[in-house]
Structure 1
Amino acid sequence: MDSIELRGLRARGYHGVYDFERAAGQDFVVDVTLDLDLGKAASTDDVSDTVHYGELAGQLVAVIAGEPVNLIETLAERLAEVCLGDPRVASCVVTVHKPQAPIPHEFADVAVTVRRKA
């Protein structure tokens, strides 16, 4: 199985359990790996034979910036559903990073990863 990776996609969203997170919003960073067969695209050299990662990025940003959810677990699930919306994608791994999570201690990152199959 081949893969396409999109790393560090950043968008502003209004997700979180606390009212101040939903009011002020914060940046979310997403990493996505799509598992699919890239043989046809490699042989035809035609973007229509693969997942257009620019279009995928736009769809993912729309979800991040869209309807708020309480948990980044839910956000990750919604993003995985977008990835699996292309029938060529056999499975995906989606990681949602919340670098400004409301934690009263110094930390480098908070992230949730989901793995889903078509």
Structure 2
Amino acid sequence: MNRSDTITLTSVTAIGYHGVFEHEKRDGQPFITDVVLHLDVSAAAETDDLAKTADYGAVAETIVAMVTGEAFDLIETLSVRTAEKILADFALVDAVEVTIHKPKAPIQVPFGDVSITVFRTREQLQDAHGSR
């Protein structure tokens, strides 16, 4: 990663069915995702060409597909799988930071939000696939 510019998407919201409790998987709830893409945007800036950057509209669609897709018990799993999917699908992204918020988590005390943030690099993805 020679140069690291960033593209940030915040508050991408979708209903998902993630959680350890039956009612979470049955009823669903909102999940809010923030993503920071690390990449070099120099070629895109020089040429004004979308093909030379990460299409953040397509990234947002990927996020929604992950949240509304396969149900996981943990938002930790959802966060890591979302990061891996973005790296796999967007070749120009060198690293990604994914934060999943679960504002309606079943917590029995007053709270504002619960979230997890993961950071993954293309190198980590390649190492993981090489060792499988």
TM-score bin, normalised by smaller chain:
over 0.9
State the alpha-carbon separation in 2 of the partners of residues 116 and 79 from structure 1. 10
Which digits, 9 at most, give the CA deviation of each residue in 1:39-64, with x for residues without a partner? Answer: 00001101111111001111110110
Match of 1:68 in 2: 71
Q: Does 1:100 align with 2:131?
A: no
* Partner in structure 1 of residue 120 of structure 2: 116
Residue 19 of structure 1 is matched in structure 2 by: 22
CA distance in 2, matches of 1:117, 1:58: 20
Cα offset, 1:88, TM superposition: 1.1
Which deviates further from its counterpart, 88-97 or 78-87?
A: 78-87
Quick one: distance in 1 between partners of 2:40 and 2:63? 21
Q: Which amino acid aligns with 2:17?
A: Y
Higher RCO, Cα 8 Å, sep 6+ = 1
How far the C-alpha of 1:11 sits from its partner, in A, is 0.3
In structure 1, runs of 5+ residues without a counterpart are none
Match of 1:8 among 3, 8, 11: 11
Counterpart amino acid of residue 59 in structure 1: T
Of 93, 101, 116 in structure 2, the residue corresponding to residue 89 of structure 1 is 93
Q: Which residue of 1 aligns with 2:48?
A: 45
Q: Which amino acid aligns with 2:121?
A: K
Moved over 6 A (4+): none
- The CA deviation at 1:83 is 1.7
| CA-CA distance at 1:93 after TM superposition | 0.5
**3-state SS, counterpart of residue 19 of structure 2:** coil
| SS at 1:84 equivalent | helix
**Percentage identity across aligned positions?**
47
What TM-score comes out, normalization by structure 2 length?
A: 0.88
